[in-house]
Amino acid sequence: MACALFNICLSIFLAQDHTLGHIIALDEAHRYMGETSDCEVLTNSLLAAIRFQRHLGARIIISTQEPTISPKLLDLCSITIVHRFSSPDWLNVLTKHLAGISNVSKLTNQMDSMGFDDDDDGGNCHGLRGISVSSEDPILDLFAQIVELRTGEALVFAPSAIVSLATQGPKVTPRKLAHHVLRVVMRARISADGGRSIMAV
């Protein structure tokens, strides 16, 4: 029922005036996007909106704790932010759909050429830093880095994102992230509990 209602709302929302940008955000998508026929209809509507987002003036944001809800949606993601998880099955899904994982052994060794100015903590003033993995078993090494991410840290897969500028004389060339991966540090959560989990005494 939730998917059927969301699909109706999505259709009405996208039919509105396109002079302003639209943001479509689905939070906790794993709670209502399953394998029912209504969920499939909503997924197809989202896929169509993503394919035509430039013409619709729309941007789609999907937040989920279950990345296997729709591999088709993963295929069309231009930016994927991965927080800490410990499921090998999730990693298996991501390796099939994200640039930066399948060829990670060859490409992350080139991070020094991306132009990041690392500080002593391995990052820079923008909270950006490349990651490096061993060439022996890059997927296992990447999984270890995901498992060890701290609260507020994430890995970003965004092939078309411009992350630095290369200058050769008067010529300035933007460098895209491509198959590389960025490790980012988010700002601290601002909440009454300071972002701490409630612990039993």
CA 174 to chain centre: 21
Q: pLDDT tens for residues 41-65? A: 888 898 898 888 888 888 899 998 8
Mean per-residue pLDDT of the chain: 77
Higher local confidence (pLDDT), 129 or 171: 171
| pLDDT given at position 132 | 62
How far apart CA 82 and CA 74 sit, in angstroms, is 12
Query: What DSSP state is assigned to residue 67?
Result: T
Contacts of 71 (CB under 8 A, 6+ apart): 93, 96, 97
Q: pTM higher than 0.75, yes or no? A: no
Res. 118: pLDDT tops 80: no
pLDDT band at 40 (very low <50, low <70, confident <90, very high): confident
